[in-house]
Structure 1
Amino acid sequence: MSEHAAVVAGEPVPVERVDALLAAVPARDRETARDRETARTEALARAERQRRRWATQVVVTDELARRACAERGLAPPREVSPERVLAVSGTDVADLGSIVAVALAHSPAARALLAALEAEQRVPEEAVREYYVRNLDRFLTKDALRRGVDPFATATADDFRPYERVRDDVARELRRARGRQAFFDWLDRAREGVAYPAGHEHPGDPAHPDHEHRH
């Protein structure tokens, strides 16, 4: 097996970093298969191969984020401690995909970069107000919810929390969403020049027989 898991900007990423992450993150697919006693040996082996490819993407994201932080002059984050990967919620996995969600839990550099990208976002007032108008059902008062008011038919102005009271929360939510999109865009660009040895390709790369499109 190769001694490196990827090559970033001409520099190898040691396979030990992937091994450390694999040791820290439970193999959910393998445990489920054993509990149900439905998967054959080959299916388990395939799942483990894909888990290694998935872990490689998490480690590469960390490496790329470290470099981006250095380029931006962000304070160097503390060293990654693979044994202490932060908890990842199901909501984050659904919103971000498992690779990015775990990368953010695993990598202080990725979190620092995401925070910087979010801080750079400027949300126009028109966008905030438009979101409020288009999503009035999210701003019903507690009393209106208790009465089962239909926000698109029977509701009156008094049934909604005023724009001025929710404006800052809406702007914060939109800024967060734009920051995440900026992070996704950065990651797509940053990964373009990364090279992988056999066994560490992206899990969705159709060039290997185990590929599956799961982020």
Structure 2
Amino acid sequence: MTGGVLLPEDAVAGDGAIAAVVGERVVTVAEVDRRLRLMRGGPLAARLPHPDSAEGRNLRRWLVQVMVAEALAEQEAARLGLAPEHPGPPGPLPAPEPLPAPEPSAPGPCPQSGGAADVPGAVLTLAGALRTGGVAAAVLAASPAARAVCRVLAAGREPAEDEVRDYYRRNLDRFTTPETRWVRPFGPVRRGEIAGPIEDAVFAARQGETVGPVEGPGGPWTLVVERIEAARREPYAAVRERIRAELAKENGERAFARWLDARHAGSVVLAPGHEHPADPAQPDADHRH
């Protein structure tokens, strides 16, 4: 979403200055300042760029795009007569994805209500941002109205059986657990987690066998292979619904991102200084061709 008509310069000065116009809704500079203070007062404040740097100004521009997307989603939810859960003033933006990110076992067609996504600090995943763009991913994580609109857009986008089965075939590694050996004193070990003569000895041994001394870091090692768990793969029937739900969720998110881009192009006017960070016309743009 790098487009959008710009307001004249005099709209961005003085009291009541405007950052953006979204249909009949005006996003003021004061509102942007309040949201920015929430971010800079949060637990990730130390990671944010200095406000007077180019990166800091682009952070502000990005925040305006999220606020605009929230307003678009709220307007669409109202137009469709949807009732987002937990209505109220916007809270802090969601926290970035923790490492490692948990993988939900059975996601719905869009981020679901009643869970972590409905409270401040909901997870914004890198995978979601890469799939839909950072603004769409952020607003889906932060806004109940956006999730309500997404669920409407996701209707009828269930993946076909061939698509689900093909995903399973192309991603067998996701559903395969490699052979695991429980080795004293290391604990559970898989190939590639140790190296050299120690790995060779461990994976050549039988269950219950003691191997060594084997030369390794710090001197010779004596190891006991206490238990061997054979490699296993979840059958297609066991994971079919999980894959189907995951693909439906991704289809819904992509549909929401396309809707957001189209609605933004036709309904949003941005004030100078509040362009999308990737807009090559703004002075702090750092990605040019």
Please give the per-residue CA displacement for 1:27-55, whole angstroms capped at 9, x wherever unaligned: 89984588xxxxxx8x9432232122111
User: Which 5+ residue runs of structure 1 have no aligned equivalent?
Assistant: 35-40, 150-157
Matched, 1:61 2:93: no
Say how many residue pairs are matched: 195
**Distance between the aligned counterparts of 2:48 and 2:143, measured in 1?**
29
Equivalent residue for 1:73? 81
Matched, 1:21 2:35: yes
Please give the per-residue CA displacement for 1:91-135, whole angstroms capped at 9, x wherever unaligned: 635221443333234322122223333344221111111111122
Q: Report if the CA contact (8 A) 2:84-2:144 is conserved.
A: no
Matched, 1:4 2:18: yes
**Distance between the aligned counterparts of 2:45 and 2:164, measured in 1?**
45
SS of the residue corresponding to residue 20 of structure 2 reads strand
Name the CA shift for 1:131/1:93 in 2 (closer, same or farther; >3 Å). Answer: closer
Matched, 1:107 2:143: yes
Task: Normalising by structure 2, report the TM-score.
Answer: 0.58
SS of the residue corresponding to residue 99 of structure 1 reads helix
Equivalent residue for 2:263? 190
Compare CA radii of gyration and give the structure with the larger one. 2
SS of the residue corresponding to residue 59 of structure 1 reads helix
Please give the per-residue CA displacement for 1:39-90, whole angstroms capped at 9, x wherever unaligned: xx8x9432232122111001001001011212222114502233x4443325
User: Identical aligned pairs, as a percentage?
Assistant: 37
Equivalent position amino acid for 1:101 in 2: A
Equivalent residue for 2:202? none
Please list, as runs of the form range in 1=range in 2, the aligned pairs for 1:62-211 lying within 5 A after superposition.
62-77=70-85, 78-82=87-91, 84-89=92-97, 92-95=124-127, 96=129, 97-140=133-176, 142=177, 144-146=178-180, 159-193=232-266, 194-211=268-285
By how many angstroms is 1:13 displaced? 2.1
Equivalent residue for 2:106? none
Please list, as runs of the form range in 1=range in 2, the aligned pairs for 1:33-44 lying within 5 A after superposition.
44=52
Q: Report if the CA contact (8 A) 1:80-1:106 is conserved.
A: no
**Distance between the aligned counterparts of 2:47 and 2:244, measured in 1?**
41
Equivalent position amino acid for 2:150 in 1: L
By how many angstroms is 1:181 displaced? 0.9
Task: Normalising by structure 1, report the TM-score.
Answer: 0.76
Equivalent position amino acid for 2:180 in 1: R
**Distance between the aligned counterparts of 1:138 and 1:116, measured in 2?**
30
By how many angstroms is 1:5 displaced? 1.2
- Any runs of at least 4 consecutive aligned residues in structure 1 with deviations exceeding 6 A, and if so which? 27-30
Q: Report if the CA contact (8 A) 1:86-1:105 is conserved.
A: yes
User: Is the strand fraction higher in 1 or 2?
Assistant: 2
Equivalent residue for 1:38? none
Equivalent position amino acid for 2:257 in 1: F
**Distance between the aligned counterparts of 2:48 and 2:82, measured in 1?**
43
